[in-house]
Amino acid sequence: MRRKTALVLLFALLISPAFIRAQEQIIDEVVAVVGANYILQSDIEAQYIQYRMQGAIKDARATRCAILEDMLFQKLLLNQAELDSVQITDDQIEQTMDARFRYYIQQFGSQEKLEQFYKKPLLQIKEEFRTLVQEQLMVDEVEQKLTKDIKVTPSEVRNFFNKIPTDSIPMIEMEYEVGQIVKEPIISKEEMEATRERLRGLRERILKGENFAALATLYSEDPGSARKGGEVGFVSRGQLYPEYEAIAFSLKKGEVSDIVKSKAGYHIIQLIERRGDMINTRHILLMPKISDDDLARASKLLDSVANLIREQKMTFEEAALKFSDDPGRINGGLLLNPMTGNTSFTANQLDPKVFFAIDKMNVGDVSKPMAMINEEAKKTINLYYLKKRTEPHRANLKDDYSVIQEWALGEKKNKAINKWIGEKIGKTYFRINEYYTDCSFKHNWELR
């Protein structure tokens, strides 16, 4: 396991029931120390359980030893990051968490289901993972620095591929490149005003003495905070919608705001407490409702757009740039795979509804308008475009040069990293629990 997959695995563990159970059931102890950083038994067990759920365990002892060695490597990189005073900004952390949690919200089906699983609002979930994400980004930066100048020549790629035994050449799965045009239905002015009026009524009741938390529980449409009386929990700047944050940080303790509009809908906010640069607020969120007529208008528009593409009066890329409400429109509307960072998806990496829509399509086809739910649990109408489909096959230099180039580059980087590990082991303080000293590690972690 190498660093390019570490963050994906980190989030897979954090989001899985196995991780929760491991944290709850294991009597914890420190099993290794690297510099000032330590590894817990629960860290190892959580990843072990995840592997076991995937059916990837042949030798339990060897698997736990391999997990520990990879964690030793991560802590060695983290120790180096601390020595190098690597700085990670709040924006970097937020962007990373936003990308990953968008993916997991999609996997759960909605933000509400994710919050129900954790029994806490999304903002609080993200806050609990903040330090882990920060450390992982520090580790990534050190590793990128170690490997950033490493490149492979075409002859190195060919030599790498030619050394693979014929019967061991990997299979390349069927992959898809899919574009989307997203239309957010325009909500009528009447519905928006009616929503504001309902919220004005709730604000007046609070100002006359009714309990804010009780009304939030009854009426707020933010599922994560409503069951806690609208309480969001302590957050720092940059973690809330900008419009919400601007008002929330200006309130006095107990003060109730006027109506605030954000991307989520309309809020009234009360400041519970402020501690330095962190605040705890409660709010009532009401969201204007999308009517069937709103959806029908958006669907009719995208039906016309699809016909323009089919009649070759406009390319899909042009249509995405002109009509889509999705930020990805500037990249031709192509979906970005959050697991790999590129635009290729295997079937199981696509949203099942998207896969069902494009599975029977020919390359170049456009789907009918489809009702979807975005990561903010809002209804949208989408078009999907099948740009590319590859057939499953054994890798070859002609069709898969870029993939094989990545494999060759990865091997060369791994050699450089292994050399660095060997050099750093003898210069870094570490200690390993006796229970793991008989592991057959790849590196000599007993050196001082």
Q: Is residue 443 part of a domain?
A: no
Q: Is residue 58 part of a domain?
A: yes
Confidence tier at 286 by pLDDT (50, 70, 90)? very high
Tokens of 126: 């993200």
Domain end: 233, 251, 286, which one? 286
Q: Domain check: are 28 and 103 in the same one? A: yes
* Residue 112 confidence (pLDDT) above 90: no
pLDDT of 398-415, one tens digit each?
Answer: 888 988 998 999 999 999
Report the chain's C-alpha Rg in angstroms. Answer: 26
Q: pLDDT at position 47, please?
A: 85
d(CA 385, CA 28): 50
Name the β-bridge partners of 385: 179, 366
Closest by Cα among 1, 249, 226 to 119: 226
**In 208-339, where does DSSP find H-type helix?**
212-219, 223-226, 242-248, 292-310, 316-323
Q: Is residue 447 part of a domain?
A: no
Q: Domain check: are 25 and 136 in the same one? A: yes
Q: Domain check: are 267 and 325 in the same one? A: no
pLDDT of 198-254, one tens digit each?
Answer: 999 999 999 999 999 999 999 999 877 888 899 988 887 777 888 999 999 999 999
Domain end: 286, 313, 348, which one? 286
* Residue 18 confidence (pLDDT) above 70: no
Q: pLDDT at position 403, please?
A: 86
Q: Is residue 442 part of a domain?
A: no
Average pLDDT over the chain, rounded to an integer: 87
By residue range, what is the domain housing residue 211?
Answer: 189-286
* Residue 91 confidence (pLDDT) above 80: no
Name the β-bridge partners of 32: 39, 432
Question: Would you call 226 exposed, middle or buried from its count of C-beta atoms within 10 A (0-12, 13-18, 19+)?
Answer: buried
pLDDT of 377-400, one tens digit each?
Answer: 678 999 999 999 999 999 999 888
Domains in the chain, number: 3
d(CA 205, CA 213): 12
Q: Domain check: are 115 and 233 in the same one? A: no
Q: Domain check: are 69 and 136 in the same one? A: yes
Q: Pseudo-torsion of CA 159, 162, 165, 166, nearest 10°?
A: 160
Q: pLDDT at position 27, please?
A: 56
Q: Domain check: are 150 and 43 in the same one? A: yes
DSSP letter assigned to residue 259: -
d(CA 30, CA 431): 10
Q: How far is CA 232 from the centre of its chain?
A: 21
- Output the domain CATH number for residue 209: 3.10.50.40
Q: Is residue 396 part of a domain?
A: no
- Output the domain CATH number for residue 117: 1.10.4030.10
Q: Domain check: are 417 and 275 in the same one? A: no
pLDDT of 216-225, one tens digit each?
Answer: 999 999 877 8
d(CA 423, CA 80): 12
Contact 285, 232 (CB under 8 A): no
Q: Is residue 168 part of a domain?
A: no
Q: Domain check: are 245 and 128 in the same one? A: no
Q: Domain check: are 11 and 96 in the same one? A: yes
Q: Is residue 350 part of a domain?
A: yes
Q: Domain check: are 208 and 326 in the same one? A: no
Q: pLDDT at position 72, please?
A: 93
Closest by Cα among 101, 8, 74, 12 to 49: 12
Residue type, 23: Q
Domain end: 286, 307, 341, which one? 286
Q: Domain check: are 179 and 326 in the same one? A: yes
Q: Domain check: are 302 and 259 in the same one? A: no
Q: Is residue 422 part of a domain?
A: yes
